[in-house]
Amino acid sequence: MNAPPPVSDDFALFLDFDGTLVDIAPTPDAVLVDRRLLGHLQRVLDHLDGAVAVVSGRPIHEIDDYLAPLALPCAGLHGLETRLHPDEPVEAAPVGPELSALKAALSGSGLLGRGVSIEDKGAAIAVHYRIAPDCEAAVLDVMREAIAGLPDLHLVRGKMVVEAKPAYRDKGWAVRSFMERRPFRGRTPVFLGDDVTDEDGIDAAQAMGGFGIKVGEAESAARFRLADVAEVHRWLSRDLPAHAHPRRLPE
C-alpha cells in the first residue's frame, strides 16, 4: 500500500466523512465519532491556517453536529451545499421539482419496509439498503427507471446507497470552488475519500497538481492509500513540520 507523505504546511486538505473520518455504520444516523479526531482536526486546521474542509454527501448541518464544537469549511450533498467560513450561512444550489417526482415514485415502488429506506436531503434523495443488501439490484432498477424521464438528475452510487441529485455539481466541483478562494488558493490540494463519489474530488485534486488518498482497497485513481479510518486518524495525528517561514499566497 503506497502510504501518503505527512501533512505539509502548503496543503489544502479535503476530507470525506463516512468511511474516511468515521467508520461506516448500519444506518446513517448510527455513526460514532472518536472524540480524539476533533483534536487531530483542530491541530491540522491550525497548522494549515484554516485550509481544511469536509466534503461529504451529508448535509452540512449533520457534519457540524457530529464534529461540534469544531466547525470546518464544508461542502455538503456532494457540493450542492457549501460554506467556506464557519460564521457564514450555508449556500444552497437551486433545486427543481424533479426530486419531488422521484420521491413519489420511490414511495410507490414497494421497496420500503424491506430494509430499504429513503433519506430526503432536500437537495438530493438517498436510498439506503445497508441492512438489506439483497435489494441492491431492485433499488438500482427502480432508481434508473424513475429518473429516466428526469434528465436534470443523475445517480451516484456509494456503499450500500444510491443517491439521486442534480447533475451539475459533485465533489470535484467543490474542490475547484474552494481552491479559488482563501485560505485554500495557492496551496496543494489533497483529497481523502473511500467511496466511488470521492473519485471526482480525487481527480480534481490531481488535475490541479495535488494528489488523492484512497481509504481502503477499492479501485481508485488516487496516488496514495490508507487502509482504513484508523489509519486516517493516525495520519492526521502524525508530527507536523514546523513552519520554516510564512507562506506567501497569491492575492
Instruction: Report, as residue numbers or ranges, the catalytic residues.
Output: 16
Nearest to 74 by CA among 86, 66, 149: 86
Measured CA to CA, the distance from residue 142 to residue 138 in angstroms comes to 6
Measured CA to CA, the distance from residue 250 to residue 247 in angstroms comes to 10
Inter-residue contact 136 to 171 (CB < 8 Å): no
Name the CA dihedral angle for 179, 182, 183, 186, rounded to a multiple of 10 degrees.
50
